[in-house]
Amino acid sequence: MKFISWNIDSINAAITHSSPRGEMTWAVLNEIAQRQPEVLAIQETKLKATGLTPKQEKALQEIFPDYQIYTSSSTARSGYSGTMFLTKNKPENVSYPILGAPGEMDQEGRVITLEYPNFYLVTVYTPNSGSNLDRLPDRQAWDDAFRMYVSELDQSKPVIFSGDLNVAHKEIDLKHPNSNHHSAGFTDEERQKFTELLAAGFTDTMRQEHPDQTGLYTWWAQRSKTSKINNSGWRIDYYLVSNRINNLVEKTGVIDTGARQDHAPIELEINL
């Protein structure tokens, strides 16, 4: 089975593709469609609280025919955050879990879970701690709540989850670790929570396949014109699987997005 996950940074920007960046995003989305994944997980959809507009749904159905579409939008702030699944195979159940996270995090459309006969498939868009780390305490509470959630699922059947987890786990996972120890996404606190997530029984599939590979990134800052050119990036997007199925992973990778900065899609092939 082939899975792809991507923080798209606005479904509407991709579908309207009325700017050079939007055109690049639309091109990447079409490339993903050509790869025919069993499931595509999308984060940061930025949809309205009411979900897809008819125009957006039509555009997606044209390039992803015969896919089921499931969305979770932010009701706390319309046009913010949000997640989506497009899947060829209809799941047995679809849920939009409430984790008991602080503030409005549970109302920001950050998690969708699909249940299949032999596994759960989860997509997550983890909250950012903020440029001044003002949201770091709430972020830590989110990490605890999400870890408990997927651990509970794991007691029933194996779990595969993907998304923008907003953390680079090790120094190998970003270009400039020494200058970022107090930056959102690379604080000791966030990295420790990711360590605890792995210790709860999950495998970072990309590091399992490429344990020592440097320069393996999934995100490049838009504010720096040369971040992509210099491969000055971070690896903050992941596919994690329950440890008991990590031997079934056949391939992981980052899909090349050319000159487009921000997030790149990641893929997982697993023999389920």
pLDDT of residue 59: 97
Which whole number is the average pLDDT over 232-252? 98
- Of 252, 231, 228, 236, the residue nearest 164 (C-alpha): 236
Dist CA 220 CA 236 (whole Å): 10
The percent of residues in the chain predicted with pLDDT above 70, rounded, is 100
The predicted structure's pLDDT at residue 184: 97
**Residue of 174, 195, 196 whose CA lies nearest to 185:** 174
80 is known as an active-site residue: no
Query: Tokens 């950050």 belong to which residue?
Result: 110
Of the candidates 67, 125, 217, 238, the residue annotated as catalytic is: 125
At residue 125, the pLDDT reads 98
Nearest to 50 by CA among 81, 75, 21, 13: 75
The whole-number pLDDT of residue 44 equals 98
Confidence band, pLDDT 50/70/90 cuts, at residue 267: very high
Which of 164, 173, 204, 262 is flagged as catalytic?
Answer: 164
**What per-residue confidence (pLDDT) applies to 82?**
98
Whether 125 is a known active-site residue: answer yes
Q: Which class is 2-270 in CATH?
A: alpha beta
Domain ranges of the chain: 2-270
Distance between CA atoms of residues 162 and 4, nearest Å: 9
Per the listing, tokens 């590979």 go with 213
Residues 19-78 have pLDDT tens digits of: 999 999 999 999 999 999 999 999 999 999 999 999 999 999 999 999 999 999 999 999
Contact 132, 109 (CB under 8 A): no
Q: Which residues contact 99 (CB under 8 A, 6 or more apart)?
A: 105, 106, 111, 142, 145, 146, 148, 149
User: Can you tell me the mean pLDDT for 95-103?
Assistant: 96
